[in-house]
Amino acid sequence: MEFEAKLKLLRQIPYFGSLPEAELRALTTRLRERHYRAGDVSFRKGDHSEGLCIVLTGRVRTVITSAERREQVLKVFGPGRTFGDIPVFDDEPQPAEAIAVSESSIAFLAQVDLLNLLRRHPDLAIDVIRLFASRLRAYKQMVEDLSLRTVVARVARLLVDRAHGTRTLIEESASSSPEYTQDEIAAMVGSVREVVQRALKTLEHVGLIRMTRGRIQVVDVEALDVGQGPSRTRS
């Protein structure tokens, strides 16, 4: 990514949004950039942190995996989003695995550079706390959905959030026609492909979505949002 494009992206991130221009430019030169193909692992659960991770291009998901190799997606991050934040602050190992969803470029800011930055600019820490609070709220929502909602309702919420650009599970630009495989949706809503397939057919049958060639088009966002979908299909 070109230097000016990288600067523009960094200004959108809570860690750097209020930095003076000269300091932001100097910080950008210290970033280490790596490129990943779809499916490449950026870090594994238990790895030592290399610093704050910033998605420059592409998409990255963080996941936990069961002994049976079943994945649960914790978050999906698009360009201009940070991940791997927690170990930077608590000095503990990575709590999950990070995998490139598509061809991606990721920048790393060393822990010492980030902490020194926040010490020099304590006002930035308020923005970072807000970011952590929003993610904590999102994880609370995930626990509630997995515990109390049917798979149809979980799929409906995922699609509504994507259409509105709500950063509950996926932190990237809004889309009313996301392109996901059924396996990807299953990992995001805590189910399996067969159940997700039935849930999507249910939503399509009642006219809330339309499926074509791997892409899901939300036909009626308001109706999907109000009811969060029918409640006949369970995990």
* CATH superfamily, with its number, for domain 3-138: Jelly Rolls (2.60.120.10)
Which of 58, 53, 7 has the alpha carbon at shortest distance from 29?
Answer: 7
d(CA 7, CA 25): 7
What are the start and end residues of each CATH 1.10.10.10 domain in the chain? 150-163+172-227
- Are 76 and 60 a contacting pair, CB within 8 Å? yes
Which amino acid is residue 49, in one-letter code?
S
Domain 150-163+172-227 has CATH 1.10.760.10: no
Beta bridge mates, 182: none
Residue 214's pLDDT is 73
- Predicted confidence at residue 210, as pLDDT, reads 93
Regions of the chain with pLDDT less than 70: 226-235
Neighbours of 24 (CB within 10 A): 16
CB 178 within 8 A of CB 164: no
- Report pTM: 0.88
Give CA 57 to chain center in angstroms: 13
Give the other-Cβ count within 10 Å of 47's Cβ: 15
Give me the pLDDT at residue 70, please: 85
List where CATH 2.60.120.10 sits in the chain: 3-138
